[in-house]
Amino acid sequence: MTTRVSVVEDILSANDKLAASNRARLDAAGVFAINLMASPGAGKTSLITRTVEALKDEFRIGAVDGDIATTLDADRIAAVGIPTVQINTGGECHLDAVMFQSALPSLPLDDLDLLIIENVGNLICPASFKLGVHASVLIASVPEGDDKPYKYPVMYRGVDAVVLNKMDVLAAFDFDVDYFRQGVEVLNPGLAFFPLSCKTGEGLDAWLAWLRNEVRKYVSGDSGAHS
């Protein structure tokens, strides 16, 4: 048992070192990177396409899409007209720093301001594997239920913002936004919180304003959130 635990610790510490080197590479090129995490179906790809459509005239944006087997999401993102690299994890349920490193040479880093990473849909291990990004964002969605911060505390503790997607269907679900938010607040006080709908566009402006501000702070050298 003891041996097994220390192996896991070694893997994570090797991952952390590689994440730091990924981060240095991004910083050398002046690219602000965000890691989007969520359970499957919460709307990661939809938030990315919405965000790119809104900000692509302001920033040079690229994407990395992690998926267990298909290129469906990467194809949707590439269709919005930005450089997109697909990482097929071959069944792994998260991205790690090695996979992210392997994607970097395929991206025009010197010509990007913002890199958006779509992690594999999973609320557990993506929280343990740093990639070397500047901010991490968790996307929850109304149909998943309002108890998720209570059930997946590690994920909620490690992020810089929470998006609550699919607000357009709130009336059809037994979802208490205040209860959800209290759960988030206990784990991560003062966390930026954006209830929105990628379908209707409601609430997207506040999310876009936050992201725009983070990228601008970074580009101007006054670095913001770190994770």
Contact positions vs Zn ion (CB under 5 A): 93-94, 125
- Out of 33, 73, 85, 99, point to the residue binding Mg ion (CB under 5 A): 73
With CB under 5 to 8 Å by kind, the binding choice for 44 among Zn ion, Mg ion, none is Mg ion
Packing angle between helix 44-55 and helix 204-219, nearest 10 degrees? 70
Query: With respect to Zn ion, which residue has the nearer C-beta, 78 or 125?
Result: 125
With CB under 5 to 8 Å by kind, the binding choice for 93 among Zn ion, Mg ion, none is Zn ion
With CB under 5 to 8 Å by kind, the binding choice for 94 among Zn ion, Mg ion, none is Zn ion
Query: If we measure between CA atoms, which residue out of 40, 108, 105, 44 comes closest to residue 74?
Result: 44
By rule CB under 5 A, what count of residues binds Mg ion?
A: 3
Query: With respect to Mg ion, which residue has the nearer C-beta, 22 or 119?
Result: 119
In the complex, the smallest distance separating the C-beta of residue 158 from Mg ion, rounded to whole angstroms, is 20
- Out of 44, 50, 94, 166, point to the residue binding Mg ion (CB under 5 A): 44
In the complex, the smallest distance separating the C-beta of residue 166 from Mg ion, rounded to whole angstroms, is 14
- Out of 15, 22, 39, 45, point to the residue binding Mg ion (CB under 5 A): 45
Provide the 10 A C-beta neighbour count for residue 176.
Answer: 12
With CB under 5 to 8 Å by kind, the binding choice for 208 among Zn ion, Mg ion, none is none
In the complex, the smallest distance separating the C-beta of residue 38 from Mg ion, rounded to whole angstroms, is 8
What is the Cα 67 distance to its own chain's centre? Answer: 13
One-letter amino acid for residue 140 of the chain:
A
In the complex, the smallest distance separating the C-beta of residue 123 from Zn ion, rounded to whole angstroms, is 10
CA distances for 191 relative to 31, 35, 108, angstroms: 23, 16, 32
Q: Please give the Cα distance from 37 to 139 (Å, whole number).
A: 6
In the complex, the smallest distance separating the C-beta of residue 216 from Zn ion, rounded to whole angstroms, is 33
CA distances for 200 relative to 38, 188, 217, angstroms: 20, 28, 29
Query: If we measure between CA atoms, which residue out of 113, 129, 199, 194 comes closest to residue 160?
Result: 194
Structure letter (DSSP) for residue 160:
S
Q: Please give the Cα distance from 168 to 109 (Å, whole number).
A: 36
Q: Which stretch binds Mg ion (CB under 5 A): 65-73, 90-98, 109-117, 207-215?
A: 65-73
**What kind and span of H or E run contains 166?**
none
Contact residues toward Mg ion (CB under 5 A) are 44-45, 73
